[in-house]
Amino acid sequence: MSLRINDIAPDFTAETTQGTIKFHEWIGDGWAILFSHPKNFTPVCTTELGTMAGLEGEFRKRNVKIIGISVDPVESHGKWQDDIKTATGHSVNYPLIGDKDLKVAKLYDMLPGGAGETSEGRTPADNATVRSVYVIGPDKKIKLVLTYPMTTGRNFDEILRAVDSMQLTAKHQVATPANWKQGEDVIITAAVSNEDAIKRFGAYETILPYLRKTKQPSA
């Protein structure tokens, strides 16, 4: 069965470019993003890992750790990092999991249909990991799941935006509308009565009986 939002993120032990980790222990008390790519030394993946490296500081400000994974061995990850720096100008300082036995990829349902049992002889059509993203909260529960096809590079600014929304809504009884960005108006949830909305947020706008907007609460 596929993992779903609010499931506990499966724990695992794995070898990475920064040594052996136990996943839940590595996450600690903050947030984490686990994201997979199909194969080292390929064009789209090179741009993706470099882009994520460039955003690492923004995620760190939000207490979010980043970790990448593919079924390539750890040694291959290390060799590839020079190419990523050349292509994107960013150094990969976050760990990369070498999942050559497909253990984590299977645990997180990162393999396309028809995937093989090991990484040997793999092609992008069988047991390469698809472009999956899991955002995991401090409670070790899955907060967001995204899966992209192998030909489509991800928009990591969107993942950062989603993290902003999730962290905001975890603290306040609000939701965020379509295309919301940090600092814009938010939606008051149905769990908050009109009376409580005034106490919590002050002035708010009623667009429909079930759609009330207010200024973004401060952190």
The answer to the question of residue 7 being in a domain is no
Residues 149 and 68 in one domain: yes
Domain boundary among 153, 180, 205: 153
Residues 146 and 194 in one domain: no
Residues 85 and 23 in one domain: yes
The answer to the question of residue 189 being in a domain is yes
Residues 121 and 66 in one domain: yes
CB atoms within 10 A of CB 33: 22
Rounded to 10 deg, the angle between the 74-88 and 43-61 helix axes is: 80
Residues 90 and 117 in one domain: yes
- pLDDT single digits (tens) 135-174: 999 999 999 999 998 889 999 999 999 999 999 999 999 9
Q: Which CATH number covers residue 131?
A: 3.40.30.10
The answer to the question of residue 5 being in a domain is no
Answer whether residue 79 shows pLDDT above 80. Answer: yes
The answer to the question of residue 3 being in a domain is no
Residues 51 and 131 in one domain: yes
Residues 22 and 126 in one domain: yes
- Strands lying side by side in the sheet with 131-136: 19-22, 13-16, 96-98, 64-70, 31-36, 131-136, 142-148
> What is the Cα–Cα distance from 182 to 210, expressed in whole angstroms?
23
| Structural domain total, the chain | 2
Lowest mean pLDDT among 94-98, 111-115, 185-189: 111-115
Q: Give the range of the structural domain holding residue 209, as residue numbers without chain letter.
A: 172-214
- pLDDT single digits (tens) 39-67: 999 999 999 999 999 999 999 999 999 99
- pLDDT single digits (tens) 98-140: 999 899 999 999 987 665 666 565 555 566 788 999 999 999 9
Q: Which CATH number covers residue 193?
A: 3.30.1020.10
The answer to the question of residue 123 being in a domain is yes
Residues 83 and 147 in one domain: yes
Q: What was the pLDDT predicted at 116?
A: 60
**Which residues have a Cβ under 8 Å from the Cβ of 172 and sit 6 or more positions away?**
186, 200, 217
In the structure encoding, which two tokens stand for residue 64, read together?
A: 């979010």
Residue in 9, 34, 45, 135 annotated catalytic: 45
Q: What was the pLDDT predicted at 126?
A: 63
pLDDT (average), residues 28-32: 97
Residues 100 and 70 in one domain: yes
Q: DSSP for the chain? A: ----TTSBPPP-EEEETTEEEEHHHHHTTSEEEEEE-S-SS-HHHHHHHHHHHHHHHHHHHTTEEEEEEESS-HHHHHHHHHHHHHHHS----S-EEE-TT-HHHHHTT-SPTT--SSSTT--TTTTS--EEEEEE-TTSBEEEEEEE-TTS---HHHHHHHHHHHHHHHHSSEE--TT--TTS-EEE-TTS-HHHHHHHHSS-EEEETTEEEEPPPP-
Strand pairing partners for 175? 187
Residues 34 and 131 in one domain: yes
Q: Does 219 qualify as catalytic in the annotation?
A: no
Percent of the chain with pLDDT strictly greater than 90: 85
